Amino acid sequence: MSVHTIRSSRRSRFRAAGPLLAALSLLLALPVAAQAADTPSVPERGSAYLGMGVAAHDGVGGLPRDTRAAQTEGVDVASYQGNVNWSALWNSGVKWAYSKATEGTYYTNPSFAQQYNGSYNVGMIRGAYHFATPDTTSGAAQANYFVDHGGGWSKDGKTLPGVLDIEWNPYGAQCYGKSASAMVSWIRDFANTYKSRTGRDVVIYTATSWWQSCTGNSAAFGSTNPLWVARYASSVGALPAGWGFYTMWQYTSTGPTVGDHNKFNGALDRVQALANG
CATH of the domain at 150: 3.20.20.80
To the query of whether residue 76 is one of the catalytic residues in this protein, the response is: yes
For residues 84, 88, 92 and 95, what is the CA-based torsion angle, rounded to 10 degrees?
Answer: 50
Distances (CA, A) of 209 to 51, 163, 186: 13, 19, 18
pLDDT reading at 129 higher than 50: yes
SS3 170: coil
Query: Which one of 58, 103, 165, 260 is the catalytic residue?
Result: 165
What are the Cα distances from residue 101, in Å, to 18, 26, 117?
Answer: 57, 47, 12
Please indicate, yes or no, if residue 7 is contained in any of the structural domains: yes
pLDDT at 54: 78
Catalytic residue among 103, 167, 201, 260: 167
Clarify whether residues 219 and 85 are in a common domain.
Answer: yes
Are both 18 and 66 inside the same structural domain?
A: no
- Residue 199 — φ and ψ, nearest 5°? 85, 0
Are residues 65 and 174 located together in one domain of the fold? yes
In this prediction, residue 61 has a pLDDT band, given cuts at 50, 70 and 90, of: low
Q: Are residues 155 and 193 in the same domain?
A: yes
Judge whether 134 and 101 are in contact, CB under 8 Å: no
Which whole number is the average pLDDT over 72-99?
97
Expressed as residue numbers, the domain containing 221 is 54-276
Exactly one of 76, 103, 201, 260 is catalytic; which is it? 76
Alpha helices in the chain (DSSP H): 3-38, 54-58, 86-91, 112-121, 139-148, 180-198, 208-215, 268-276
| 48 in a structural domain | no
Work out how many domains the chain is built from and give that number.
2
Q: Model confidence over 210-254: pLDDT tens digits?
A: 999 999 999 999 999 999 999 999 999 999 999 999 999 999 999
Q: Is 167 a catalytic residue?
A: yes
pLDDT of residue 62: 62
For residue 44, being part of any structural domain is answered with no
Tens of pLDDT along 19-39? 545 544 544 444 444 443 444
In a domain, 46, yes or no: no
Residue 98 lies in a domain: yes
* Count of residues in the chain: 277
